[in-house]
Amino acid sequence: MEIYRPVKIILIPVLLLLIGVAHGEGLPHGYPKTSRQKININSNWKFHLNDPQGVPWLVDYDDSDWKTVHVPHTLKLTSLNLDDCQDDKTQATFHRDVGWYRKHLQIDTDPDKMIFLEFEGAHQVTDVWVNGKYVGQHAIGGYTPFHFDITDFVHSGNDNVVTLKVDNRKNPDVPPDPGPFDYIKFSGLYRDVYLVQTDRLYIPFPWEKREAGVRITTPTVKPGFATIDVKTTVRNLYDTPRLCSILTRVINADGIVVLKMNSTAEIPPDADYTFSQVNGLDEDVHLWSCSDPYLYRVNTLVLDGDKPVDCIENPLGLRKFELREGEGFFLNGEPLMLIGTNRHQHYAYIGDAMTNSLHWKVEY
């Protein structure tokens, strides 16, 4: 019987990654050690509201007169009455500003590592430079996570300068503009930012495309039985084929492995491969409900031959829900009265720039 104790660091996003444990620090007994690191870089950004003079993405740019801020961050604080703003529902002027952020990072890596900047959200168009070179732009919207591959832009073992332009001005090509909308679209680098490192054989980010990351479904759930379908996409950025194995463990709330699935395939160079694994639980199945929000964990381990190289963990609640004509909503076969709500994420003075702890406080 394998026992996997939970990692002490828990993240708010659906995709749960291990932070700063690539060399084994803080890993529970038996937990796989891999190349993946996810390091929070929220602290000590230099910030300038509106476009500064000069060329702010240059490495030797003088940002000494910029403010020091911490993420989550809004471009400017707002009064309780929204600064007496008279905008209509297209929000023509309120928080329609641009902000610049700069940060120095010491990055130590090796040629077999990939390096990414991961953003949980920024309003609403984000441009990125690393060491004076333009990396790219995210312009899909302010409410989606995104990342940039900065592997070819960093100087390993040296100081690296990251520059961001976060633009919340009206843009008819980026939703939810041109509007109207029934909420306020605040500004800034308003959610967490991470530096992520992986092996060149790794699980890509789940928002990259339809088949990316780890996707978990439960086709059949009933008392005493549940089918679990796990599809895991692995990317090989080595210049040779890799014999890759996926070991998927379903772990209960006591840390005991209750289901194990193993698959192997050869992945060509510069290619993605999606593993499909299906199995079922038929002993001591614990269903999720509103009164008993029981969660399993799905631990996905990637091996390059026999070497563990990547690991991602996701929560899993087993439950069956259905809408019955004339009867309403049923959860696990029992009727449940649903009461809707409209929860906006902004908070007094800081807009959308809420810390995770504040999200929990507002929720509960």
What domains does the chain contain, in order, with CATH numbers?
A: 43-191+345-363 (2.60.120.260), 203-321 (2.60.40.10)
pLDDT over 80 (residue 306)? yes
Q: Supply the pTM of this predicted model.
A: 0.90
The mean pLDDT value for 247-275 works out to 97
pLDDT over 70 (residue 297)? yes
- Pairwise CA distance, residues 258 & 2, whole Å: 9
The string of pLDDT tens digits covering residues 188-239 is 999 999 999 999 999 999 999 999 999 999 999 998 999 999 999 999 999 9
Q: Among residues of the chain, what percentage have pLDDT more than 70? A: 91
Quote the pLDDT of residue 13.
34
Three-state DSSP class for 306? coil
pLDDT over 80 (residue 7)? no
Sign of CA dihedral 30, 249, 226, 280: negative
Averaged pLDDT of the chain: 91
The mean pLDDT value for 115-138 works out to 98
- Pairwise CA distance, residues 311 & 291, whole Å: 31
All residues at 6 or more sequence positions from 27 whose CB lies less than 8 Å from its CB, including other chains: 7, 18, 21, 33
Three-state DSSP class for 343? coil
- Is 141:74 a contact under the CB 8 Å cutoff? no
Nearest to 184 by CA among 279, 117, 95, 246: 95
The mean pLDDT value for 333-339 works out to 92
All residues at 6 or more sequence positions from 244 whose CB lies less than 8 Å from its CB, including other chains: 201, 234, 236, 264, 265, 266, 267, 273, 302, 303, 304
- Is 38:23 a contact under the CB 8 Å cutoff? no
The mean pLDDT value for 167-179 works out to 93
Quote the pLDDT of residue 16.
35
> How many Å separate Cα 311 from the centre of its chain?
15
